[in-house]
Amino acid sequence: MKIERIEQFHIAMRLKQPFETSFGREELLEKIIVAVYAEGLVGYGESPVEPLPLYSYETVETCWHVQRDALIPLLFGAEIEHASDLPTRFTPVRGHPMAKAGLEAAVWDLEAQMAGVPLAKLIGGVRTRVEVGVSIGIQGSVEELLERIAEYRAQGYRRIKVKIKPGWDADVLAAVRTHYPDIPLMADANSAYTLDDLPLLRSLDAFDLLMIEQPLAYDDLLDHATLQRDLLTPICLDESITSPRRAREALALHACGIINIKPPRVGGITAAQAIHDLCNQRDVPVWCGGLLETGIGRAANLAVAALPNFVLPGDISASDRYWEQDIVEPPFVLNADGTMNVPQGVGLGVTVVRERLEAATLRRASYPQD
Ligand code: OSB
Ligand code: MG
């Protein structure tokens, strides 16, 4: 395909409820959406970056700059045969996986539209619905957390993920287990602990958690390997896995038993497929994480979660868990059995509502610049 035009949208979207993790509290989210035009079609992709480098080193400003000055010029060079060729095209640019992933997703959307198939089908997805859960931020009190869990359970979410941090951990999980002895439950620390916290982390084995997500430093593998030897609960890595190479290193070191694959964190859908395939060969289960995406990123995540080794419920919640109004139609809804449908229309399988995208836009640019 020959790319004719690319647009960048820096958008702001307000969450219905603030989301608090060990690294901060978010309410007004900012992201970069790209629209890629070729052969009379348009594909969309999302880079779920944040204003500050708290979850990842990438920010709205670095993403805007790296896309504009380094990545977009590479897409206007030679024609692109397949979306899966983009990681190679992008190799001269070091790092910046989310900036790359947004552009790559838009080209995947285009390729699926040109082939006349849903994105999930094009990338090897085998499911039409996937099991999903909900990730619940740190609350003001244990009572509030129990209320939130009751609300989400009533809506149909089965697996519950609780964010933890020092001071909001063992007692909180004990209270949740007292009220819900049997639910699929997990905890995500977003790098809030060190090996000095071994006794506390060991005590979490009592709560029969599905996994504990990223307990130690955001870029660590070695300490996680040491910790995993001392824990019964499987460690799941999130922040530490930023590429297929890092996934290979993590498995070689036995730093985790499970990997959370977020396509934007690892550089895109092609990298997500590679990590999926590697984990599949090693019998390491994976699941699809989320970065509070709009419907554009969510559609891509659902396509990826349809791959065979995505055997654990994803952090892919319904549009109304995040937004008063999503920027795609139809919005994503939860099925009564705790699953979500993988879109079956061509490409992303949802329609981007241009007026809503433009209403959310703070800054816009079009390339080649006129
Ligand atoms: O660590 O998984 C995480 C959201 C923002 C940044 C990091 C994380 C999260 C979530 C929310 O847990 C997942 C979602 O519902 O999109
Ligand atoms: Mg996480």
In the 8-state DSSP scheme, what is residue 332?
P
Instruction: Give the mean pLDDT of 83-106.
Output: 98
pLDDT tens string 154-203 = 999 999 999 999 999 999 999 999 999 999 999 999 999 999 999 999 99
Predicted confidence (pLDDT) at residue 34 exceeds the cutoff of 80: yes
Q: Which of 25, 291, 321 for a ligand 1 pocket mutation test, highest count of atoms within 8 Å of Cβ?
A: 291
For residue 315 and ligand 1, the question of a CB distance below 6 A is answered with yes
369, pLDDT greater than 90: no
Picking from 357, 330, 342, the residue whose alpha carbon sits closest to that of residue 132 is 342
For residue 31, the ligand closest to its alpha carbon is: 1
Q: Which residues are catalytic?
A: 163, 262
Q: Is 210 in the pocket of ligand 1 (CB under 6 A)?
A: no
Mutate to test the pocket of ligand 1, among 261, 292, 332 (most ligand atoms within 8 A of CB): 292
Q: Is the CB of 292 under 6 A from ligand 1?
A: yes
Class of domain 121-341: alpha beta
pLDDT at 164: 98
60 close to 49: Cβ distance less than 8 angstroms:
yes
Confidence of residue 298 (pLDDT cuts 50, 70, 90): very high
pTM for this structure? 0.97
Q: Which residue has the tokens 């979660």?
A: 305
Euclidean distance between CA atoms 118 and 77, whole angstroms: 27
Q: How many CA within 13 A on the CB side of residue 26?
A: 24
Ligand 2 centroid from CA 1, angstroms: 36
| Overall average pLDDT of the 301-307 stretch | 98
Ligand nearest to the Cα of 46, by number:
1
Q: What is the CATH code for 5-116+351-367?
A: 3.30.390.10
CA of 250 to the centre of ligand 2 (A): 16
Q: Structure tokens of 239?
A: 């922040």
Token readout for 70 is 């380094």
Which helix or strand (DSSP H or E) is residue 355 part of? helix 354-359
Handedness of CA 213, 217, 218, 223 (dihedral sign): negative
Give pLDDT, residue 165: 98
Residue 4, token pair as written in the block: 């004719």
pLDDT at 259 over 80: yes
Counting from 1 in the atom list of ligand 1, the atom nearest the Cα of 322 is 15
Q: Which residues pair with 34 in a beta bridge?
A: 8, 45
The Cα 17–Cα 160 span in angstroms is: 17
State yes or no: pLDDT of 77 exceeds 90. no
Tell the residue number behind the tokens 């071994």, with chain if given.
Answer: 198
- Average pLDDT on 5-30 reads 96
User: Is the pLDDT confidence value at 370 over 80?
Assistant: no
Contact 212, 231 (CB under 8 A): yes
Ligand 1 mean position, distance from CA 40 (Å): 35
Distance (Å, rounded) from C-alpha 137 to C-alpha 108?
A: 32
Beta bridge partners of 213: 188, 236
Backbone angles phi, psi at 295, to 5 degrees: -60, -25
151 token code pair: 């609300």
Output the pLDDT for position 337: 95
The answer to whether the CB of 55 is under 6 A from ligand 1 is yes
Tell how far the Cα of 134 is from the centroid of ligand 2, in angstroms: 12
Which ligand 1 atom is the nearest neighbour of the CA of 137?
A: 12
* Residue range 162-175, pLDDT digits in tens: 999 999 999 999 99
Q: Output the pLDDT for position 183.
A: 97
238 lines ligand 1 (CB under 6 A): yes
Residue nearest to atom 7 of ligand 1 (CA): 291
Domain residue ranges in the chain:
5-116+351-367, 121-341
Distance 188 CA to ligand 2 centre (A): 6
Q: Report the separation in Å between the CA atom of 362 and the middle of ligand 2, taken as the mean of its atom positions.
A: 28
Could you tell me if the CB of 239 is within 6 A of ligand 1?
no
Helix (H) or strand (E) segment spanning residue 29: strand 24-38
Give the mean pLDDT of 119-143: 98
DSSP 105-160: HHHHHHHHHHHTSBHHHHHT---SEEEBEEEE---SSHHHHHHHHHHHHHHT--EE
